[in-house]
Structure 1
Amino acid sequence: MTLTTTKAPRVSFEFFPPQTLDASFRLWETVQVLAPMQPTFVSVTYGAGGTTRKLTHEAVTTIGKNYGLNVAAHLTCVDATRAETMEIVNAYAEAGVTEIVALRGDPPKGSNGFVAHPEGFASAVELIEAIAETGKFKIRVGAYPEKHPESADAAADIAWLKRKIDAGATSAITQFFFETETFLRFRDACAKAGIAAPIIPGILPIENWDGTKRFAARCGTAVPAWLDDAFTAAKRDGREALYATALCTELCDTLRAEGVEDFHFYTLNRPALTRDVCHALGVVPDTVLEAVA
């Protein structure tokens, strides 16, 4: 018996590595629920400051081995020498990993910002160049449809993304956003800047609105007043989950009408809402019985 997904769009999922036993159970439940969607790839994050480096490696290799999924490992420049980082790159290659999401990375909590290791990579561009030189990986990078908190302006973000693509990245995944126009304006601006690589919208199904607003504030994602009002009303009426599913589905459907064919879901290791949105979009696994020779 095999599971096949026959309908567009193509989807991918982001997971984060567990740091407790309960979190471990939640991760594997999430993978089991979403693997039948036959994602083009799944990614596994790094903690701030590289705090989950070993856990990320374990999760990447286990998911690839046990579920047969194409796993893209997050890799950052934070708190590691070039030699240590390339050791990780080589270990991924030996484990059969063929994709890396290359990021500068968030600084450790409590720090005043990113400071490059004296013997490490100073930026995502340097990291991308080194990975690209190995010739062993498809490299994905982050992109910001709204101004990165540390950027001078949106134009600087686009110029930096172009540098990452020119350094060897083959596609970009955006930070999450709440309105379709945010992504479409960004996509148009990237095309105008000469960026031809695919730009995949990052989609955050909203499990908890208050938590999402805090997350958005850290990421520089604008929260529209209409959306805050809508979730306040939905929560009052006891239909927050229903509204979240409808909202996320409508966002993706509108983007599909504008030619978007790939979506990357930030699952937060909570699979139900992501699964429901995928089903609403027509990404439903069909069971096919194979003849036994």
Structure 2
Amino acid sequence: MTASTEASPLIAAPLGKRDLNVSFEFFPPKTDKMQTQLWESIKRLEPLNPSFVSVTYGAGGSTRERTHDTVARIRKETSLAPAAHLTCVEATREEVNEVAKAYWEAGVKHIVALRGDPPEVGGTYSPHPGGYPYAVDLVKGLRDVADFEISVAAYPEVHPAAASPEADLDNLKRKIDAGATRAITQYVFDVDMYRRFMDRVRAAGITVPVVPGILPVTNFATVVRFSGACGTSVPKWMHELFDGLDADPESRKLVAATLAAEQCRALYDDGVTDFHFYTLNRADLVYAICHILGVRAAKPASDTTTEPKTEGASA
């Protein structure tokens, strides 16, 4: 993917285009306090009209019930279109199919199909004897359950368990060929990394949307540790950018919002119109970034001001 030579006129100007779409990822809460924070975040971001919101599934299926409850509540109590994560780990095909059927019957038509992480952190993945071995098998199985919209994962910097970049890309293509309708990438900080990945994706004949994952940096030290575990590189310039801000959360937020907004703007200038935000169940940074990009709540009909209206992403 070659960078566009026609840059946005002003770095701080909202993109303001109706073709700009955002989606948000949440995780199911473990405590009452986390539950309150999650729903405050959901209600804060709901007016931005995201194309969908996804809810993650814990390692080994450890949050299966909490994921289902969160997705069902989003479906029932908000205007949002929820997408439920579903994995292959620690479950038979029949159990996975029953979960998928329950989602369909509850009106949840979008599944994020993943292999999933082993139950033990740092453990080795081993397919369940009676389950779906890998994500490509899960995609095929979901296609037999119902006509789901299916998103899958993509890895610009290669999945840590992949034998090679070529094998990883081939696995992505097989998931798409099996019936996935969209890929969402692991978060990536280096825009050129995503561009090179997309050159390889399109050369492989993959034509579905491949949505870049955007992670606003709430805690840089935590991001560095997590990135090391999942195989995402943190460029040297980011270390320099956040240097000295460990004890200054307000400045860190300003830097993080600016960084993510510039990342999205650079990709938008390349022609990317969809962005998936890993919210970590916090709305403040994501809301600010979307505001900078021009993704905003529609103004009430009673608003008679002459200021141009910029609506949020279309569903």
1:270 to 270, 279, 282: 282
The AA in structure 1 aligned to 2:285 is: L
- 1:137-169 Cα deviation digits (max 9, x unpaired): 100000000021111222211110000000110
The alpha-carbon deviation at position 234 of structure 1 amounts to 4.5
2-structure distance, mates of 1:216, 1:117: 27
Q: Does 1:285 find its partner at 2:297?
A: yes
The AA in structure 2 aligned to 1:256 is: Y
1:80 to 83, 91, 96: 91
- 1:80-115 Cα deviation digits (max 9, x unpaired): 011100000100011001100000000112563111
1:187 to 175, 198, 204: 198
Could you tell me which runs of 5 or more consecutive residues in structure 1 were left unpaired when the two chains were aligned: none
- 1:63 alignment counterpart: 74
- 1:29 alignment counterpart: 40
The alpha-carbon deviation at position 242 of structure 1 amounts to 1.0
The alpha-carbon deviation at position 226 of structure 1 amounts to 1.3
1-structure distance, mates of 2:226, 2:68: 25
* Higher mean C-alpha displacement, 235-244 vs 223-232: 235-244
- State the secondary structure of the residue aligned to 1:35: helix
1-structure distance, mates of 2:199, 2:37: 38
The 8 Å contact of residues 234 and 243 in structure 1, kept in 2 or not, is answered as no
2-structure distance, mates of 1:235, 1:75: 35
The alpha-carbon deviation at position 215 of structure 1 amounts to 1.3
Identity of aligned residues (%): 49
Alignment of 1:1-293 (within 5 A): 7-110=18-121, 112-235=123-246, 239-289=251-301
- State the secondary structure of the residue aligned to 1:108: coil
Q: Structure 1's 289 and 74: CA in aligned 2 closer, same or farther, altered over 3 A?
A: same
- State the secondary structure of the residue aligned to 1:72: strand
- State the secondary structure of the residue aligned to 1:239: helix
Q: What number of residue pairs does the alignment pair up? A: 286
2-structure distance, mates of 1:178, 1:234: 18
2-structure distance, mates of 1:74, 1:110: 19
Q: Structure 1's 179 and 110: CA in aligned 2 closer, same or farther, altered over 3 A?
A: closer
TM-score between both structures, scaled by the size of structure 2: 0.88
2-structure distance, mates of 1:12, 1:65: 18
Q: Structure 1's 280 and 46: CA in aligned 2 closer, same or farther, altered over 3 A?
A: same
The 8 Å contact of residues 46 and 79 in structure 2, kept in 1 or not, is answered as no
The alpha-carbon deviation at position 289 of structure 1 amounts to 2.3
Q: Structure 1's 236 and 53: CA in aligned 2 closer, same or farther, altered over 3 A?
A: closer
- State the secondary structure of the residue aligned to 2:51: coil
The AA in structure 1 aligned to 2:50 is: P
The alpha-carbon deviation at position 286 of structure 1 amounts to 2.2
- State the secondary structure of the residue aligned to 1:270: coil
The alpha-carbon deviation at position 132 of structure 1 amounts to 1.2
2-structure distance, mates of 1:93, 1:226: 45
Could you tell me which runs of 5 or more consecutive residues in structure 2 were left unpaired when the two chains were aligned: 1-15, 303-315
2-structure distance, mates of 1:112, 1:219: 13
* Higher mean C-alpha displacement, 105-114 vs 224-233: 105-114
TM-score between both structures, scaled by the size of structure 1: 0.94
2-structure distance, mates of 1:204, 1:128: 26
- 1:207-262 Cα deviation digits (max 9, x unpaired): 11011111111110011111111111445776211111110100000000000000
The AA in structure 2 aligned to 1:112 is: G
